[in-house]
């Protein structure tokens, strides 16, 4: 744990689900202060306590309402289901101003979650950018990695593609990917998030067809 990590607060908004708790676990273990946000502060506190148990009491994890969590954060990570995506951002956009927003949301539309169904904006991340405005940096990441990878202490075989509104924002997000013990790649501008988000439906279909639970992607033929 380093002092520089403790200066940075990450709020995982809608973080009471499995994906959110997996990211919280990874970042808290790396030494960051992490806040779980939820529409229900009580639910967020319960999730934070659950992660603390996984960490054997180590690390800095708190739970609070989404609005308070967004206010406290330097970086906000959105992990809500797509059905709650717009409403959550509309409610929090004032508190998010001037901060980096990392959108993990995938526009899955039940019951055909294995079929790519993108919103009119092009992707959930592009939709987020429209909602929060031009004065915010928005990145998309972590869509193609299953929560079961995140909740294990070992590394994952799959990579994380990062798209976003600037090189600087993507570089900052890749730092978070690496802090979580994963391998991140700069996948270009936020417009490319349509491919990254859409890939999730394809991976869901592969999981169903071949009896897996954690199909992922890996970049080959390139080195950093």
218 — pLDDT class (breaks 50, 70, 90): very high
Predicted pLDDT of residue 2: 43
Torsion sign, CA atoms 30, 126, 213, 223: negative
Segments making up each domain of the chain, as ranges: 3-210
Whether the predicted model's global pTM rises above the 0.85 cut:
yes
CATH code of domain 3-210: 3.40.50.720
CA-CA distance, 128 to 14, in Å (whole number)?
A: 15
Predicted pLDDT of residue 224: 79
Is residue 22 predicted with pLDDT exceeding 50?
yes
List the single range of 8-17, 86-95, 126-135, 145-154 with lowest mean pLDDT.
Answer: 145-154
pLDDT tens digits for 43-86? 999 999 999 999 998 889 999 999 999 999 999 999 999 999 99
Residues 194, 202: contact at Cβ < 8 Å? no
């Amino acid at each position: 744990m380093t002092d520089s990590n403790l200066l940075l607060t990450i709020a995982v908004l809608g973080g009471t689900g499995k994906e959110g708790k997996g990211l919280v676990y990874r970042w808290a273990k790396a030494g960051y202060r992490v806040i779980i946000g939820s529409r229900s502060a009580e639910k967020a506190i319960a999730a934070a306590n659950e992660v603390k148990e996984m960490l054997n009491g180590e690390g800095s994890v708190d739970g609070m309402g989404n609005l308070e969590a967004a206010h406290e954060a330097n970086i906000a990570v959105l992990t809500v289901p797509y059905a709650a995506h717009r409403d959550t951002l509309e409610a929090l956009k004032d508190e998010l101003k001037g901060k980096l927003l990392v959108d993990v949301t995938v526009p899955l539309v039940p019951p055909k979650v294995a079929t790519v169904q993108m919103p009119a904006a092009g992707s959930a991340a592009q939709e987020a950018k429209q909602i929060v405005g031009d004065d915010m940096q928005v990145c998309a990441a972590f869509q193609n990695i299953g929560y079961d990878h995140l909740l294990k202490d070992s590394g994952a075989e799959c990579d994380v593609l990062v798209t976003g509104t600037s090189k600087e924002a993507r570089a900052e997000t890749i730092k978070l990917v690496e802090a979580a013990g994963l391998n991140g790649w700069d996948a270009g501008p936020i417009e490319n998030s349509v491919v990254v988000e859409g890939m999730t439906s394809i991976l869901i279909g592969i999981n169903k067809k071949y009896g897996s639970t954690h199909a992922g992607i890996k970049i080959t033929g390139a080195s950093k």
